[in-house]
Structure 1
Amino acid sequence: MVNAIWKNINEGKIEPVYLLTGIEQHLIDTTVKRLLKAMPDIDDSSVIRFDLEETPIEAVLEEADTLPFLEDRKLIIANNASFLKASDKTKEKVVHNIALLESWLSNPSPTATVVFLAPYEKLDGRKKIVKVMQQRAIVVEAMPLTGKDLTTWIQNEAGTNGIKISPEIAQVLVDMAGDSLLTLSNEIAKIGMYMNGSGEVTREIVEKLVPRLPEMDVFRLTDAYMTGNVKRTISIYHDLLRNGEEPIMLTSLIAGQIRLMIHVTSLVKKGYQQQQIAKTLNVHPYRVKLIMDNRSIPKMERLLLILQKLAHIDHQLKSTSGKRERVLEIFFMEPLRA
């Protein structure tokens, strides 16, 4: 959906009202940048900005209905549209004339584009203003992308940098860098520069240029250990040691990953969805997705046993002055029975 909206913006089909909502800030920022680029008479300094936590909506509408002075069309950014989410009367500093906004949305100014920013995970669909806004505005839902949506976004982003990337290599990129769109955008731009803006991205190029996130490596290490693949486990472990990771830190990170698996597994059984779990545990949704998609996660009893063993390893590592690398390596080589 967002790609179709961006396509229209790029073609100069600018609508009078946009609503950008969600927690994926990069999608919000990119949409605003595309609007700016598509309105050549306007630069960033001439964008009119309002903070709706400090300014009533009436001021935004009055500005929108005032004819522009030098440009054909104004670009107005109205941030923090908190009246679109569930009310918290204790935090409200400004009283907004919502009825006036509802009326204005039925006939918005033809000489202004007003962009409402609601950077929240969820809007209050029970509110009339939310329903009206969703009907009258062009809505960009800036939520974390997953699956085919994320792959399509990566391929489109690669295209803007003059390069091509297959779905398989896009997944390699995500496995190494995570699913933060800002991080992926920066990495794709770097790859595009390396390739002089042409050609097909290969696994070798990704592995050469993109640094792995430590948590991604720890996930790979933990997954290899729990599936009983000793050879792969030791190989990943040695790679991490060569990259300067310390056994004590790795033990702590692995234990954290196991605890996360326990919490996610428990919440899934209670019927929680990915975004709910991520919010409840205060972790990135992609980490939750990796665990939910992993069919090889052992039963709770085995996870608890691994955690118990890691506590013992942690004590050993902190009380020995010998080769700490060997302590964790022996742990990885021992078969685990629940």
Structure 2
Amino acid sequence: MDAKQAFRSIKQGNLLPVYVCYGTEAYIMNEFVERLLEQLVQPEHREMAVVRFDSAETTIDTIIEEAEMLPFLVPSKIILVRDSVLFAAGKESTRVEHRPESLLAYMGQPSDTSVLIFMVPHEKLDERKKLVKTAKTKEFVISFSPLQSEELLQWLLKRASSQGRSMDGKTAEELLRRVGTDMHALAAETDKLCLHAGLSGSVTLEAVRSLVPMATEQNVFKLTEELAALRTAEAIALYYDLLKQREEPIKLMALLVRQFRNMLYVKELGSQGYSPQQMASQLGLHPYAVKITGEQARKFSQERLASLLSELADLDYAMKTGRVEKTLGLELFLLKTGSQGAS
């Protein structure tokens, strides 16, 4: 089951006794748990009705014992378990000894008065484990993967609309470019812009540009765009702005290296017929980051990207050994790269 189906299911009142939530999109996973809480627990009962565990610190027998115990002064309870041991592909170091057969037995006959939720902050589950196979057979497993580019834009528009404000696609796109794909940060900035817009107001492009600071990584995206377009003056001005924000040249160079490397990977994977979604999974990037990286990569040849990475490696060595002053060294690289362009 994916996140959309899971949200739809709880909205219709179809609740499961056990959920295994996994994936890298923590914001949506937490939102799903919040919806479950709203369905099952009155706000004034939360302290009594919600119990939290970590499988790295508590045995599964203790967790199941809690799940089977009748709730006290509330009709039902939710048991939240942070897990990187029982269902995850990698093993987190833990001194706790678990008996998976206890959980297998519980999944066969779960309590009527408890909802047991495992939150697994990993991209994949360990498909070799019987626990995972059983949970999948019973349709207890929900995947929380990053939203695609268009889904993320629609989510921003919907968030503004839910607060009685309007926002157009171009404005949402600019917000994404400035903040990045972290949904917690996007939610906070959207809420701030909605407050600024006022009741029934519109979130404008001008408001985004004046009120939302550009995240460092997003500035590096912008820097590579300016270099590719031979806008050297703009690239240098952006670099100076980052220095004024006390960003370290070595950190900025590392981000440039990562971006040029990702551009090279996207170009190579694209030539092999990979889809954007497959690229995102292969490179560990958000789909929106793959989209922007792909747009930038089209402006560079593979040979040029490989050459730039080689130059940055030499510059890194020179800066760290003191042969080149780091602030000046990166500025000279930007000047040279901007003058030569992407060809």
Establish whether TM, by shorter chain, passes 0.5. Answer: yes
The normalised TM-score by structure 1 is: 0.78
**Which residue pairs with 1:277 in the alignment?**
283
Alignment partners' CA distance in 2, 1:105 and 1:268:
43
Alignment partners' CA distance in 1, 2:177 and 2:315:
28
Q: What secondary structure is seen at the aligned counterpart in 1 of 2:181? A: coil
**Which residue pairs with 2:26 in the alignment?**
25
Q: What amino acid sits opposite 2:234 in the alignment?
A: S
Q: CA RMSD in A?
A: 3.9
Report if aligned partners of 1:234, 1:329 keep a CA contact under 8 Å in 2: no
Give the gaps of 5 or more residues in structure 1.
none
Q: What secondary structure is seen at the aligned counterpart in 2 of 1:115? A: strand
Distance 1:300 1:238, change over 3 A: same
Q: Which of residues 55, 72, 76 in structure 2 aligns to 1:69? A: 72
Alignment partners' CA distance in 2, 1:263 and 1:94:
42
1:116-174 per-residue CA deviation (whole Å, 9 max, x = no partner) reads 11111101234332132134355432222222222233233333433333333322211
Give the gaps of 5 or more residues in structure 2.
none
Q: How many residues align?
A: 330
Distance 1:329 1:80, change over 3 A: closer
1:13-43 per-residue CA deviation (whole Å, 9 max, x = no partner) reads 5432222111222222222233333321532
Q: What secondary structure is seen at the aligned counterpart in 2 of 1:117? A: strand
The normalised TM-score by structure 2 is: 0.78
Report if aligned partners of 2:264, 2:297 keep a CA contact under 8 Å in 1: no
Percent of aligned positions that are identical: 28
Mapped pair 1:234 → 2:205: no
Q: Which of residues 290, 293, 311 in structure 1 aligns to 2:292? A: 290
Q: What secondary structure is seen at the aligned counterpart in 1 of 2:167? A: coil
Mapped pair 1:34 → 2:35: yes
Distance 1:159 1:324, change over 3 A: same
Q: What secondary structure is seen at the aligned counterpart in 1 of 2:123? A: coil
Residues 294-333 of structure 1 mapped to structure 2, 5 A cutoff: 294-307=296-309, 327=332, 330-331=335-336
Report if aligned partners of 2:153, 2:172 keep a CA contact under 8 Å in 1: yes
Distance 1:102 1:28, change over 3 A: same
Report if aligned partners of 2:77, 2:113 keep a CA contact under 8 Å in 1: yes
Alignment partners' CA distance in 1, 2:297 and 2:262:
15
Alignment partners' CA distance in 2, 1:178 and 1:321:
27
Distance 1:153 1:318, change over 3 A: farther
Report if aligned partners of 1:106, 1:136 keep a CA contact under 8 Å in 2: no
**Which residue pairs with 1:177 in the alignment?**
179
Deviation at 1:89? 10
Residues 129-208 of structure 1 mapped to structure 2, 5 A cutoff: 129-208=131-210
Q: What amino acid sits opposite 1:167 in the alignment?
A: G
Q: What amino acid sits opposite 2:16 in the alignment?
A: E
Deviation at 1:193? 1.8
Deviation at 1:9? 4.1
Q: What amino acid sits opposite 2:18 in the alignment?
A: V
1:188-218 per-residue CA deviation (whole Å, 9 max, x = no partner) reads 1211222235333221222122111122122
